[in-house]
Chain A
Amino acid sequence: MTATALTQTAALGGRAVIRTARQPANVIFPLVFPMLLFAVNAGGLKAATQLPGFPTDSFVAFALAVPFVQGALLATINANVEFARDIQTGFLNRLALTPVRGIVLLLGQLGGLMTIAVVQAVFYLAVGLAFGVRLESGFGGAAMLLLLEVVIALGFAALGSWAALRTGSTEAVQGLFPVFFVFLFLSSINMPRNLIEADWFRWIATINPVSYLIEAVRSLVIEGWNWEALGLGFAAAGGLSIVGFVLATHALWRRLERT
C-alpha cells in the first residue's frame, strides 16, 4: 500500500471515528447496554457457579467476555448504518469522484470501526477490573484480548459493510442487529457448552462461530493461556473477517460501478 493510500485510509478511518464520537447515542449505547446486560447476567446467574463443573466461582469473570463481543457488534452496526447513509446521501459518490482507490474506501471504514472497538474494549476491561475481575492470563492476556477484539470487530464490521454496500439502505443494516443478536444468544454466552442441557441448543452453540469468539475471550479471563480456545477464537474471527471482507469488496465493486 502506498503512502498516499495509507494517508487516505487514515483520513477515512478518522472520519468514521469522529462521526461516531459526535453522536452521543452511538457512543453511549455500545458502552452502556453491554454493561447493563453484564450486570444483569452477572447478578442474575451467579447461582450457576454452584453447578458441578462450572469453570469458575465468579460469574462476573465468566460473563465479562460477553460485552467484548456484544460491544463490537453494536458499534459496527451503528457505524455501518452511517456508511449506508453515505450511500443514500451521495457522499460515497463524492469520494468515488476523487482519485482514491476503491479498496481504500472500504479499508478506511473498517479501520475506523476497529479503532472504535479497541477503545470500547479498554472500557470493558477497566469496568471488569473495577469489579474485581483479574485476568488469569495477566498483562499479556490483556494485550491478546485487545488483539482478538480487533479481529472480532473486523469480522462484524466487514459483514456490516457488506450489507451497507449491497443494499445502500440504513434500515437493512439496522435489520442485521436482530440477526446477529440471535447468533449471540444461541451460543455459550451464559453457560459453558458442556453444561448446556438441551442437546439441540448445545449443537447450535457448537456450530455457532460466536461461541468460539466468546470462549476465546473468556479463556483469557478465567483460564489463562488456553491455546486451543484462542486458536479457535482467532480462527472464527478470522473466518468471519475473510468472508465479510470478500463479500464487502464484491459489493463495493458493484456499488461503485465507476469506470
Chain B
Amino acid sequence: MDAPHENSIQAHALVREFKKGPRAVDGIDLHVDPGEIYGFLGPNGAGKSTTVHMLTTLLPPTAGTATVAGYDVVKEGPRVRKVIGAALQEAALDPFLTGREHLRLQTTMHGITGEDRRLRSEELLTRVGLTEAADRKVKGYSGGMKRRLDLALALVHRPQVLFLDEPTTGLDVQSRTALWVEVGRLAKEEGVTVFLTTQYLEEADVLADRVGIIDHGRIVAEGTPEKLKAEIACSTVEAVPASPGQRGVLATVLERFGAQTTGYGPGSVAVQLSSSNGNLADIVRALDAEGVILSQLQIHEPTLDDVFLAKTGRHLEGAGDEEEQESEQIAQPASV
C-alpha cells in the first residue's frame, strides 16, 4: 500500500449491493495515481455515482476495500473526509443563501475561522468568477454559476483528492469549457488528484489522463483514451449515396469491408472497418466498380463510444436509458 498522505485512490474488489436490488457496483479494481485526472465513463445506472459515494465515505461498501490518500474509506472515514473535496451529481445548494454565505458555512464546517475564512472565500470566489454574484441568493444563479460555486465549495479546505460526479451535465458549452480549464489547472498546477465521472465522451477524451469505462457495475476497459482507441484500431467509414435508390447497393459493397453500424447521419451507411479488410482506396475502387455515386464520404477515427461498443455490444449514449435505479437508490439508502 502507498504511504499515508499520498493523494492516490485505490480500490480492490469493491462491491455495493442494495437491498432487493442488483449489485450497483460489482467488484471494481482501480488505481489512480497522485495528480492524475481519472475519467470514469459509463451510461446512466452503470455504477459511477455509487462508486463515488463509496470512495467519498457516504456509502459503506458491501465488500472490498478502498483507500483514498492512504486512508481506508471504511475504517478511517473522518480522515478521508478531511483530505477530499466532492462536487456530487446534484449541485446541492441552498437557494436562500448567497454564494458568500455558502462559503462561510462550508469553511466553518471545515474548521476554518476568522480572517483565514474570509481570505479563502474571496480567493475562491475570484477563482471561479463569482465575485460579483457572491451576495446574490443562489436561486438566482444560472446552472453554470451553481456548478462553479459547487466546485469552489469542494475546494475550500484545499483537498488533496477531488471527486467530481458528472460536473458538467446540463451546462452550456462555454461553462463546460471553463470548468474543464479549472479542473485541468487544479491537477497540473496544484497536484490535486481528480476522480471525474461523466457520460460525455468528449469530456473524458479531453480532460482525463486515464479513463475507466464502467458498465453494469464492472470496469470493462481502462487506460489512456489513446490506448483504448488504439486497441479497437478500427475506423468507421460513412458514406451518403447521391441517389437514395443506391443505398442498398452501397450497403452491400461496404459490408464487404466491415460490419454495419448505426448512429450516423440520416440517409448514410456506416461500417466499422475490420483491420484486415482493405483501406479507403479499396473501398472507393469497389464502389466505383458497382457504379455507386457518392455525395459524401467520411472517415471517423475510433471514439470511446466505439470502445464501449466493442466491449459491451452497445453504444454508450442511450445505453443507460432503461437503468435509472442507481440514482434513486443512492438518494434514499435509509429507506431500502
Contacts and interface: CB of A to CB of B under 8 A. Distances in A.
Interface of A: 4, 7-8, 11-12, 15, 18-19, 22-23, 86, 88-91, 93-100, 165-168, 251, 254-259
Contacts of A259: 57, 60, 73-75, 77, 80
B78 A99 contact: yes
Interface of B: 56-60, 73-75, 77-78, 80-82, 84-86, 88-90, 92-94, 96-97, 101, 104-106, 108-111, 113, 137, 153, 331-335
A23 to B, nearest CB: 7
Pairs A-B, 8 closest by C-beta atoms:
A259-B77, A90-B92, A98-B109, A90-B90, A11-B108, A22-B96, A254-B334, A94-B92
Given A96-B58, A168-B332, A91 B81 contact: no
A97 B82 CA distance: 8
A255 B106 contact: no
Nearest to B54: A259
B108 A97 contact: no
B58 A97 contact: yes
Contacts, number: 93
B331 A258 contact: no
Contacts of B78: 99
Given A94-B153, A97-B84, A257 B105 contact: no
A259 B335 CA distance: 18
Contacts of B110: 98-99
Given A88-B331, A168-B335, A257-B60, A22 B88 contact: no
Contacts of A12: 105
A150 to B, nearest CB: 24
A18 B97 contact: yes
A12 to B, nearest CB: 8
A114 B5 CA distance: 41
Contacts of A255: 333-334
Given A96-B58, A258-B57, A19 B96 contact: yes
B30 to A, nearest CB: 18
Contacts of A18: 96-97, 101
A93 B52 CA distance: 12
Contact of B93 (A8, A19, A23, A91): A91
A167 B81 CA distance: 25
Contacts of B56: 97
B111 A4 contact: yes
Q: Which of B60, B82, B89, B111 has the largest count of A CB atoms less than 10 A from its CB? A: B111
B106 A98 contact: yes
A4 B109 CA distance: 9
A7 B113 contact: yes
Contacts of B84: 97
Contacts of B333: 255, 257
Contacts of A23: 96
A18 B94 CA distance: 11
B334 A257 contact: yes
Contacts of B92: 89-91, 93-94
B108 A7 contact: yes
Name which of B85, B90, B109 has the most chain A CB atoms within 10 A of its CB: B109
A23 B94 CA distance: 12
A166 B109 contact: no
Contacts of A15: 94, 97, 101, 105
Nearest to B109: A98
Nearest to A14: B105
Contacts of B111: 4, 99
A15 B101 CA distance: 9
From B80, B96, B153, B334, residue with most partner A Cβ within 10 Å: B334
Given A8-B109, A22-B96, A257 B59 contact: yes
Given A90-B90, A168-B331, A258-B77, A99 B109 contact: yes
Nearest to A254: B334
A168 B60 CA distance: 19
Contacts of A256: 58
B145 to A, nearest CB: 16
Contacts of B109: 8, 11, 95, 98-100
A22 B299 CA distance: 57
Contacts of A11: 104-105, 108-109
A174 B325 CA distance: 26
Contacts of B106: 94, 98
B274 to A, nearest CB: 46
A90 B110 CA distance: 18
30 contacts: A8-B108, A8-B109, A11-B105, A15-B97, A15-B101, A15-B105, A18-B97, A19-B94, A19-B97, A89-B93, A90-B88, A90-B89, A90-B90, A91-B92, A91-B93, A93-B88, A95-B109, A96-B58, A97-B57, A97-B84, A97-B86, A99-B110, A166-B334, A168-B335, A254-B334, A257-B59, A258-B57, A259-B60, A259-B73, A259-B80
A258 B58 contact: yes
Nearest to B86: A97
Nearest to B77: A259
Contacts of A89: 90, 92-93
Nearest to A165: B334
A30 B129 CA distance: 39
Contacts of A86: 94
A97 to B, nearest CB: 5
